[in-house]
Structure 1
Amino acid sequence: MEDVSSSRGSIAAVGHSRGEVSPPTEVEELSPPKESKPAPVTPPKESKVEGVSPPKEGQVFALVIGINDYLSNNYATLLGAVNDARAFKKYLLDPREKRGLGVPASNVLVLEDRQATRAGILAAFQSHFMDNPKIPDDGNATMILFYAGHGTRILAPENKIAPDGRVEAIAPVDERTKDAAGNEVHAIPDYVLGWLLSRLAKKKGPNITVIFDACHSGGLGRDVGRARAGGSPSPSVPLELDSHLWKDETGAAQTAPSFRMWSQSAPSHVLLAACGQEETAREIRYIDDNSVHGRFTESLITWLRRVSLENTTYQELLNRFPAWSGQTPHCGGERRDRLVFDGNFPQTGSRAIPLIPHTSPTNDILQSFRVDMGSVDGVVPDTEFTVYGPDNNELCTLVAHSVETGKTILVPPGKQPVVMKDGQSVTIPPQSRAEVSDWKNDAMILHVYTPDDFPHTTDLFPKHDITVQPKGRKYVQASSVADADIIIRKVDDDIVIRRLTSTILECHPETRFPLKDNAAHLPLVADGIAHFNYFLERHHGSAPLKDFSLEMHRLVGDYPGRRPDLKASPRGDGNLVVDNEVNIPSRAGAKYGFTIRNTSEMDLFPYFFFFDPEEYTISLWYKPESYKVAPLTKKTEDADGTVTVGMGSERAFEFMLPPDQPHSSGFLKLFVATQHLDISWIKQNVSPFDPNFQGTPRIQAGQEPLVAIPEWDALTVVLTMTKQ
């Protein structure tokens, strides 16, 4: 099934607004409280990982914006935004020996205060990024958009999906003033920024990092520091103001997918934001040099200089930040699990999980570690993990001792007091990672049968012992068809896979792909199929969470106000899902969205995937933006808890069949839990049939406190599309 819009296009989870509070008072105009800067540390010696390096000189381009002095009295004067812009520029220009990026000065454009008008920001984006001949159209350049200043929210009554009729925006220096022609100058809404970033990604490549030290909650606190948000919502932005961006040459609107900035799974960019929903981004006066900076930017630059960029993902970088009351940094975007500023790092590969030191409550094991994967991922007691150091060398083996839903405690084999290898104690340094080397889980293992005339059996099974799983593999050889989950055979130049079990059998009993003289790739194909099948069938045996559902809607209305068509379903509620099935015609231009509904008495964390049984790919369509705040709130007297995906000013979904295909099916899979789970690694963006497929994805470290075993559950909806 072709998914024209296979992911949401923005920077925050759907339905996540920033709250408004009272405008600042005279008392709140006092200077921010003083705070010490993070203590300097000796940077670690950078280790090299094969094929991974920091961005090369000349390949990084940045647009840096800092605004202190706004022209409108609606915005309080900031003290540290320009300082932040200058500090970030210095980090970019500093050579690698000084822990900077070593970017040529000509590649960095800075807009300060009155330079950062609405027209100036949009023109700089066009000239410095889109039309810059120095940025190749091959996707290899790193592009960074940095903004420090006020955030705001705009009234958007046409956007029926926005929970309070408002959407997020950044405030240019001349917002809420008149231009030379006497016209009102408006904020730059999230959907405009999202559209621009999507166009940039399409032309120059998706290696884009957006950094916002601003907030959209409004208000100013007295006790912590100055907040970077407007005190009241900005005026509504006329839809025609920026509509030229998404109209075609004839002036017709809605010919392209829609975009929203604050999306957890935006495909065009990674967002690093100073705070989450209902929070404020603060700037602080630091006692070391009496300077004022946004504490987010201060911590960001500090940790960018400290960490090994070759071994740190965006999410891992933010996990190192201190915990601040009322300000939780946010990382969004489909590519947030990539290495910082390195767009060429592959998303596929063995799942390498950071090890987090753990203290045994009984003190009987001196060395134990936590990894943030557990029973929901297929881990069982005695699952074996191979540990690799920062230099990518194998150190030792650890085994799963206690397994919970979202975490596992690893200990030395045989519960030895310390980790040993070849009779010697082993030191596991910081930034070490672990990979599953033997699942020890029968349910995880795919049983593969090959006929006697299959010419590549030895490539799949180097050892003809059907009782032993090859190390690290998720499949074993079946002795007969009756014992098999799939049959792999060769027809002409194609490999044909026949499914014998699982939900897929009813929709796609067979698929094929060309081998192209690459028999050594077959083990990875089998691993990818095993990964796909296991998580498609994954469910909780006791189904503890029953009161949640997934709805699919055909959408009506113009961007950015798309909403469910209530007439599209027989029940008149717009929900196309009937008995966990959806049947839709293949129709050009039809747009769809989803609602995740909670009618339970518990707040929930939802995770929404699409499983394509033709390509064996798994796409992540929604993941909560916060480790702490559950976006799917419990039912109240007034309404159910809901999260929407692909509606309003978010990117809608379009599904079309190829001309020669009469029908196709896919699977919508929804996981929910009472606590945050790091299961985004389930996604399999590259088909196992693709020669570039290297295994299941790598993930970031989840370091939120785990104080209870979360309950979880799942449901599956079969989506079938037919030719009209």
Structure 2
Amino acid sequence: MAAFPEPKANIFALIVGIDNYWSKDFSPLLGPVNDARAFNRFLLDPRSLRGLQVPASNIVLIENEKATRENILATFKSHFLDNPNIPDHGETSIVLFYAGYGTHLDTSDDMVKAICPVDERTTDDAGTYVHAIPDYLLGWMLWKLAEKKGPNITVIFDSCYLGGIGRDIGKARGATSLSLDVPLELDSHLWWKDGSATAQSHSMWAPDAASHVLLAACCADETARELRYTPTSVHGRFTKDLITQLRRATLETTTYTDLLNLIPKWSGQTPHCGGLGRNRLVFDGNYPAIRRRALSLTPLQPPGAEHSDSVDVFRVGMGSVEGVVPGTEFSAHAADDSFLATLVALSVEVNHSILATKDEEPLTLPDHANAAVSDWKYHPIILHVFTPPEFPHTSHLFPTYMRRSAQPRKYVQAASPETADIVLWSDGDDIVIERLTSMVLECARETRFFRQKWPSFPTVVDAIAHFNYFLCTHNGSAPIPGFSLEMHRLVGESQSRKADRTVGHDGNMVDRHAVDFTSQAYAMYGFTIRNESAERLFPYFFYFDPERYTIDLWCEPGRGLPLESGGGMRTVGMGSERAFEFSLPVGETSSSGFLKLFMATDYLNFGIEQSTSPFEPWFEEPHRMEKRLSEVPTWDALNVILTMTSKGMEEKA
């Protein structure tokens, strides 16, 4: 039998990650090299493991001391522009990935941004000062590359242009001081031609750039941060979520805009997607399709039931590591390839899944029958759960048999903590939930509850999946500009409470999608929702409690009462309405929660989404809000994180 070579991706990549800079102006980072290696691994991994199957010879990885200005620019030229293995004017996908510090140049034009090579602000062996790599130089080089090799270029930057550490949510990847302006003649051999080009004319951030698609960790005036996900793992939260979604999503049908919708918007950090090609398929589909595997089916008998040749539940040797999720559909076929039935995944472990017939009819399997994935049915609500071997309740989450009448779960088993959204473990009689998603990591890393109080484990984990998904969901493909949420500390009597203009910015405590405030006895708070957009919008205002995993609807409109465009406003908890009070849990010195404002052009009957904790015995599963949002053509959402600390903690800080 002839052997055929394994197909490879038609992708070339240059990956740069810098933790340790030579100049003392830059404090060490902990995540960029991890990010670069993780992205490199994603490119190299086979399609069966949800990688792109790129040949190692197509990738150049530059880390730390090798990431000098000279080497980055020279490698861009040799690996991309002058590479004979990339056909001119072809369809090869080209990827530039950078993780490290960003900066602004000290010029009269404060719009000039730059990335920092490892030797920036030092002198080379010849005594020449080493400058940053400015945005306009990169933009010019990308334009020349697109002109020669084709415009299938993706640029991924996990850096920013503002420095500092804020709110204990990780270090920012922006220099804390300006870089010196770059003499135009410095890079004349690379880009300067007739003197007519300007920094603005070749900005890499140009929204109408035809040469490339830019995926950036944040907008130009925000900060990109890195977080510690496990004791030994620090990553940029943008890169971490980007690679997670690249591995989980069905790439064959995912555009760059779709991909950005799967990544959260954090307080002070909004991922950005720019370029005319942002509605193209990710990496232009230049990677092998996931090979269709014929899998054997094992019939499963209900516990205690007599043996029967006709069953409606099966086991298949394919699981979450290969992208199966609850709801994934399999097509079952006989040995002669004749169709037998469609099977649906109900429960998914790392290396196998439990399937049931979609039409609920029993099926008698002929000899040598097999099944293959027919529809992946990926949905970002799916939670990846890791349980260590000693965890005593894994079998409750992933039973060996499920009845066909059971609803597919909203979670799958993760192979390791590094690929998980939560980790469950036992501490005496307590069950500990360790949160590893970037959004919830802005709050406490763990929450714990007494085991005997819980209803069923699957119900609890489904509720956590629901909570995480709606906390993070937003509409990056069709955002609505011009609406906002304000929070106020109130003054006055109960019938006439109004904003205290001395607190916050003219009475508004929200700063860059965050509110940090001190616990204060008897303090009252209220909110203002504003609509400066061009649309009449219906507001839905929720509070998410990450300690108890509750979602409370604080405000919804009447069916015919949207906020008018161009200045519509509604207050919540002000005037004669009941005001809001916040208090710290007993024994705690700080606590966090999230405000979420949905705005939609159509009325949505959300109802009370989730008013009790899933850890309470009387908890009921929430409604399917994701279905309602999918039916609305225009909607968007914003998050605000609230962090309250005790007065003693503030004075200590």
Q: Same fold (TM over 0.5)?
A: no
TM-score by length of 1: 0.39
TM-score by length of 2: 0.44
Greater relative CO (CA pairs within 8 A, separation 6+): 1
